[in-house]
Amino acid sequence: MSTALTLSSSARPALEHAFSYAQQQVDDLLAKYPADYYPMYTVGGKFGLDQKRWTHWCDGFYPGMMFLFAESTGSDKWLERGAQYSLPLEDRQYDRAVHDLGFLFFTTYLRWLELGGPAERINGVLDQAGRTMAMRFMPKGQYLRSFVEPASLFIDIMMNVGTIFRSGLRSGDDHLLSIAHQHCLTTRRVLVRGDGSTSHEAMFDTNTGECLRQSTHQGYRGDSCWSRGLAWSLYGFTRSYTQTRLPEYLEAAELNAAYYLTHTPPDGVTPWDYDAPEDGPLARSQVDTSASAICAAGLLDLADVTLDPVRAKAYREYAINSLVSLTDRYLGDKTPGFEGILNGGVYHIHKDLGIHEAVLFGEYFFVEALSKALKTLNRTGRAIVAAPYPEDTLPASARQWADGPTEEDMPAVTGKAANS
């Protein structure tokens, strides 16, 4: 039986301090760096030196934080700044070179829409982003290809497939919905293991569609569990379930959550890879706070949609406790001159980039998780009394879709069940 976690009575003030500090740090960045600069990761605690960018996949996280601040504070300043830094991204609704359009537009245009932004313009951008994402679909193999090559499927794409679901649901386009569902089901089959751990990448034979092997660019090994990939899966399958209500997606997210809760240290701070060695340059002792932040945000969403109140309670408790740990130990105010919000992130460990630094995906999801956690604490009106995570409620191993969905599943796969 897992050890009980007890939320500190100081959880609320600690998280409120972190949220206020995040606003201060972003405000300082806006004053220090030019308006065309989108930070990605710190070097020695400083932005402006982050040169290795590849696909510019992080550009939505900076204005995304501004929209989160606007939602929380009602500040017109944050709303205007969020729009200012989002508009230059608009042409990327047509960007076929990346698999990251959800990272770019759900953090920005979708949040802008929810805050009362120009609906016709924003919906047009979001709809096109979904159609552009769908162009990555590989019919042989039934997956959305990564930016690396046609044979490659990344777990990260679970965070971007939601753009296709949204476009398909708004338009009633069953073809778009089928693409999104098939991608999720393939990802679930080839990247989510029976114990809830995940692989970073699957490689396919593009002639036959056969999945050849699991691989990685960021993890320790192809068969290891890279913590940020696990976080992308947990969050992404939760969102796909929220959008479609297909139970297989909830099961996958809960399987990821079970692995996360039972393999992460009690403080809720993840190692960079769960299977990394104890010693050496890639040691397990290297944390990745960005993975913890993403998981916290995903767990708080999962708590709202799970059908099991015991699990919901466990997810909320663990998420809030991990945010308190991150605030207590890794908030940037612990390091003089640090320009980020959250220290201890990892951008690319094998390329020696952004290791134990602030990384923009960690910054954004930390702020998002703080916002969600504070809403949760305000809703309960008191600290949550924690209980053990009961082993007998852990989800069973996910059913494998070896040959794709069955006939009885097809209504859900075509999107008809999404409207029921």
Phi and psi angles of residue 363, each rounded to the nearest 5 degrees, phi first: -60, -50
pLDDT given for residue 409 in this prediction = 35
Segment 32-51 shows an average pLDDT of: 95
Q: Does residue 381 surpass a pLDDT of 60?
A: no
pLDDT given for residue 391 in this prediction = 31
pLDDT given for residue 5 in this prediction = 41
- In the chain, pLDDT over 70 holds for what percent of residues? 88
pLDDT given for residue 345 in this prediction = 98
pLDDT given for residue 9 in this prediction = 62
Lookup: tokens for 223: 């068969």
Given pLDDT bands bounded at 50, 70 and 90, which one contains residue 305? very high
Segment 11-25 shows an average pLDDT of: 97
Determine the Cα–Cα distance for residues 238 and 183; give it in Å rounded to an integer. Answer: 15
Give tens-digit pLDDT for 268-302.
999 999 999 999 999 999 999 999 999 999 999 99
- Run of H or E residues at 346: strand 345-348
Give tens-digit pLDDT for 332-370.
999 999 999 999 999 999 999 999 999 999 999 999 999
If one counts every other C-beta atom within 10 angstroms of the C-beta of residue 210, the result is 11
Length of the chain (residues) = 420
Q: Does residue 55 surpass a pLDDT of 90?
A: no
Segment 86-93 shows an average pLDDT of: 98
Q: Does residue 31 surpass a pLDDT of 80?
A: yes
Helix pair 61-73, 76-86: axis angle to 10 deg: 160
Given pLDDT bands bounded at 50, 70 and 90, which one contains residue 175? very high
Given pLDDT bands bounded at 50, 70 and 90, which one contains residue 404? very low
pLDDT given for residue 386 in this prediction = 35
Helices (H) and strands (E) in the chain, counts: 14, 7
Q: Does residue 203 surpass a pLDDT of 70?
A: yes
Q: Which of 291-295, 376-380, 405-409 has the highest mean pLDDT?
A: 291-295
pLDDT given for residue 180 in this prediction = 98
Distance of CA 15 to the CA centre of its chain: 20
Q: Does residue 400 surpass a pLDDT of 80?
A: no
| Average pLDDT in the chain | 90
List CB contacts of 132: < 8 A, sequence separation 6 or more.
Answer: 93, 94, 95, 96, 101
The type of residue at 49 is L
Q: Does residue 387 surpass a pLDDT of 70?
A: no
Given pLDDT bands bounded at 50, 70 and 90, which one contains residue 395? very low
pLDDT given for residue 397 in this prediction = 30
Segment 68-92 shows an average pLDDT of: 98
Lookup: tokens for 389: 């995570």
Segment 156-184 shows an average pLDDT of: 98
Q: Does residue 399 surpass a pLDDT of 60?
A: no
Phi and psi angles of residue 390, each rounded to the nearest 5 degrees, phi first: -70, 125
